Amino acid sequence: MAKQTKAFVIRDFTPIDLSWVVDRHVMLYREEYGFDESFRQYVHGPVMAFYESFKKGEENLWIAEEEGVPVGMIAIVKADPMTAQLRWFLIEPEARGKGLGNLMMQTAVDFTREKGYSKLFLWTVSQLDVARYLYEKFGFYITEVAQHEIWGNVLKEERWDLNF
């Protein structure tokens, strides 16, 4: 089912979108944060696992389009019967600052509530200031922090939780 605003259409994914999800994560995180090629498997493996075990009605991956061009994505993945994980949230640079992040977060949070999950969590890194601002705005809070050398960088990973 697609949602539409004046500028954006948010639609359910199709199998052809999956390679775009992986490629855009790898390219954008390399360009903006210096992540190395090892990041590809971190994204690719879980995206393919999501597709192979996809539970329609319990999880979803949405693609945002502007004038028919993909410009963003966000997913809700079932972790257990009462818990979901927010994953693969990305907005293309040219689509930022137009309210799309809010719209996509609202879509994901509303879906999670509607499906009866009691908790939603996500993992991010501390460098993603704009995304972290949105997480806080939507009521998420940090529950775990760990520093790792990953993807060619020393990064502080953060787990954020939202209880319903």
Annotated domain spans of the chain? 3-115
- Relative to beta strand 119-125, strand 83-91 is parallel
Separation between Cα atoms, residue 64 and residue 83, nearest integer Å: 24
Query: Could you write out the three-class secondary structure of 40-100?
Result: HHHHHHHHHHHHHCCCECCEEEEEEEECCEEEEEEEEEEEECCEEEEEEEEECHHHCCCCH
Q: What per-residue confidence (pLDDT) applies to 4? A: 57
CATH 3.40.630.30 fits 3-115, yes or no: yes
Mean pLDDT of 107-120: 98
**pLDDT value at residue 7:** 85
| pLDDT tens-place string over residues 114-163 | 999 999 999 999 989 889 999 999 999 999 999 999 999 999 999 999 99
pLDDT digits (tens, 9 = 90+) for 67-95: 999 999 999 999 999 999 999 999 999 99
- pLDDT tens-digit readout, 1-55: 566 556 899 999 999 999 999 999 999 999 999 999 999 999 999 999 999 999 9
Q: Which helix (H) or strand (E) holds 10?
A: strand 9-12
| pTM of the complete model | 0.94
